[in-house]
Amino acid sequence: MRYFLRRTMWLIFAIFVALTINFILPRLMPGDPAMIIINQLDGLQPQAIDSIRAAFGLETDKSIFVQYWDYLVNISQGDLGVSISHYPAKVWDVLAKALPWTIGLMGIATVLSFIFGTMLGIAIAWKRKSKVSDAILGLFLFIRSFPYFWFGLILVYFFAFKNPWFPLGGAHSISVTTADGWAYIKSIIYHGLLPGAVITISSLGYWMLTIRNNMINVLAEDYITVAKAKGLSINRIKNTYAARNAILPSISGFAMAFGFVIGGSLVTEMVFSYPGVGFMLFQAVQQQDYPLLQAIFLFITVGVLISNFIADILIMLLDPRIRDGAK
């Protein structure tokens, strides 16, 4: 219980820090980016200018603390300002359209890659002397060294352009809408396969390598020798004795890896013009839509923090030592 409380406090605190970084960042930048942008974007509506001024702390009549307070109040009311590129739409409304796509695609792909990567890692650690294990390990060391977006480009080139088996991009074909029901869902799945495969395959190596190394460490433990000496079945040794212990550090190592994996996934969306948060981030960068850019950063960060929190809870359920606060 103390562990749970600690993790909850940490979650709240980390979100608070993310909010603060988000607030400070534009105010830290050298020069005066806000004015440059306002000047760059001729004919900007006054409300958009206000939005930028607020975002950059150009409301010079207010002290920084007042600005900070206003910022927190605004965010708590779901007010993230006005988007420049989608003017006069509110940032929150723009973002809300992209979120489900990203959560759907990235969520499924990440869970799949974690499951497959973990299973594969367990398998190659168990049979670590075989040539096949070595080959799999080498293959994923290689794949892991490529930027996701390039891997995406290659798949698009070969499986969408050269051989038009899959669509080049987008989340569903333009001809179907929610009204089409099953056809709409089918189209979504069809469009999600290729980007999903990129994210799954590219991030799989991470989970696989982590669990493999954990697994090899665990396999050298005395309790594995005891399990063998006791005459337990291979499956019980592999799963209940080795893998269950090897997965624990893997889940707590989720924090770092997930932040990295999500970065790659965002760029994958750009390659596939997938209408999620990553593609929107790309557009925001290109159109210098700073209010939107910051909102996206905030959302991704909060998303990662919440995923970490879930991992923390999961590990509490799986590790009796953590439940008792003994570790």
Residue 183 CB, nearest distance to other proteins (Å)?
Answer: 27
In sign, the C-alpha dihedral spanning 30, 35, 38, 42 is: negative
Q: Which is nearer to other proteins, 20 or 177 (CB)?
A: 20
CA 106 to CA 265: how far, in whole Å?
7
Q: Which is nearer to other proteins, 101 or 188 (CB)?
A: 101
Q: Which is nearer to other proteins, 189 or 310 (CB)?
A: 310
Query: 3-state class of 208 per DSSP?
Result: helix
β-bridge mates for residue 82, sequence order: 90
Residue whose tokens read 């799949």: 112
Residue whose tokens read 């020798």: 225
Residue 198 CB, nearest distance to other proteins (Å)?
Answer: 13
Residue 275 CB, nearest distance to other proteins (Å)?
Answer: 17
Query: 3-state class of 153 per DSSP?
Result: helix
Residue 185 CB, nearest distance to other proteins (Å)?
Answer: 28
Residue 177 CB, nearest distance to other proteins (Å)?
Answer: 27
Q: Which is nearer to other proteins, 97 or 128 (CB)?
A: 128
Residue 45 CB, nearest distance to other proteins (Å)?
Answer: 22
Which is nearest to 26 in space by CA: 67, 69, 62, 76? 67
CA 259 to CA 303: how far, in whole Å?
10
Residue 104 CB, nearest distance to other proteins (Å)?
Answer: 19
CA 5 to CA 286: how far, in whole Å?
42
Q: Which is nearer to other proteins, 174 or 229 (CB)?
A: 229
Q: Which is nearer to other proteins, 95 or 188 (CB)?
A: 95
Q: Which is nearer to other proteins, 119 or 285 (CB)?
A: 285
User: Do 255 and 311 touch, CB atoms closer than 8 A?
Assistant: yes
93 CB neighbour count, 10 Å cutoff: 13
- In single-letter form, the type of residue at position 25 comes to L
Distances (CA, A) of 166 to 39, 103, 158, 183, 199: 43, 21, 10, 16, 16
